[in-house]
Amino acid sequence: MNVQLSQMEFRWVTPKSPPSEAPDPTPSSLADDFVEVDGRRVALVYQRHPRAKRYRLFVDGSGQARVTLPRRGSMREARKFVAAHEPWLVNQLRRHGARRADQQWGPDTQILWRGQTVRLNWQQPKDTVNGWIILGEQHRIEAPASLREAGADWRPMIERHLLLLAARELPSRVLELAAQHKCSVRKICVRNQRSRWGSCSRRGTICLNWRLIQTPPAVRDYIILHELMHLREMNHSRRFWAHVATVCPDYLESERWLKSHPELMG
């Protein structure tokens, strides 16, 4: 599956005859292009990609607004595309700014855990140096006493723990669903991806985002099934979605849940 978050796309159609206009400037000549967000200017970075089939507008992990042009696309169309989606881009940049301002985790921070919003807490056992970070009421992570200090960021340790947990749990679920639907998987990997929930290669390799452990079980299974169905159709054609609907009739609900929680990719 290739679920791209924080991006807009536009399919390029080659015109029947070349338009009469001045020579198309190269992306590097447009360093002064910017979008204004709450009084600050965010530069737009244009990049032409030889394999791109459409225009793509997105905000990367550092908060940079980027525009990808297809090989035969024009800067005029790229600018039109940006202008048409400027409100969307401004909203994405605001979201990114809010995430960065609130990126540290500590006592009372709320995060998603298996689809439920849980509050982080600290528990200090008697006669021990280390403590426990508690996720909700059931799951706990052993943590050094230094994280108890004011201002300490719990996020790196928690995310590392969840990644390792996902690396243990997700592959077995993939194999279980693959056997159920008679799909042959050659390799499974769990990664720290920023723009995809999953992917499937023609050689039968399924890659999953560790953050699936934060989603509801039904959403996790949908992503896995989505990738497994790519073993039957390596595209997003009607036939592909028909396969998905057969094995996961409620997949649209899972799609809506993912779109309503963009903060998971923050």
Spell out the domain ranges in the chain.
Answer: 7-101, 110-154, 159-265
Phi-psi category of residue 210: left, alpha or beta, with phi > 0 → left and psi -120 to 50 → alpha: alpha
SS3 assignment, position 59? strand
Q: What is the pLDDT of residue 262?
A: 83
pLDDT in tens, the chain (266 residues): 444 344 555 444 433 444 434 445 555 434 458 888 877 778 888 999 888 889 999 887 667 788 999 988 999 999 999 999 999 998 888 877 666 555 789 999 999 999 999 999 999 988 788 899 999 777 999 999 888 888 888 988 999 999 999 999 999 999 999 999 999 999 999 998 877 899 999 999 999 999 999 999 999 999 999 999 999 999 999 999 999 999 999 999 999 999 998 878 75
CA–CA gap between residue 242 and residue 256 (Å, rounded): 18
H/E stretch holding 180: helix 155-180
H/E stretch holding 86: helix 86-101
Q: What is the pLDDT of residue 150?
A: 82
Q: What is the pLDDT of residue 39?
A: 75
**pTM for this entry:** 0.64
CA–CA gap between residue 164 and residue 184 (Å, rounded): 25
Neighbours of 65 (CB within 10 A): 22
Q: What is the pLDDT of residue 238?
A: 95
Q: What is the pLDDT of residue 51?
A: 86
> Which residues does 81 contact at the CB level (< 8 Å), separation at least 6?
8, 10, 55, 57, 67
Architecture per CATH, domain 159-265, reads as 2-Layer Sandwich (3.30)
Q: What is the pLDDT of residue 93?
A: 84
Cα distances (Å, whole numbers) of residue 87 to 35, 38, 39, 99: 10, 12, 15, 18
Q: What is the pLDDT of residue 224?
A: 98
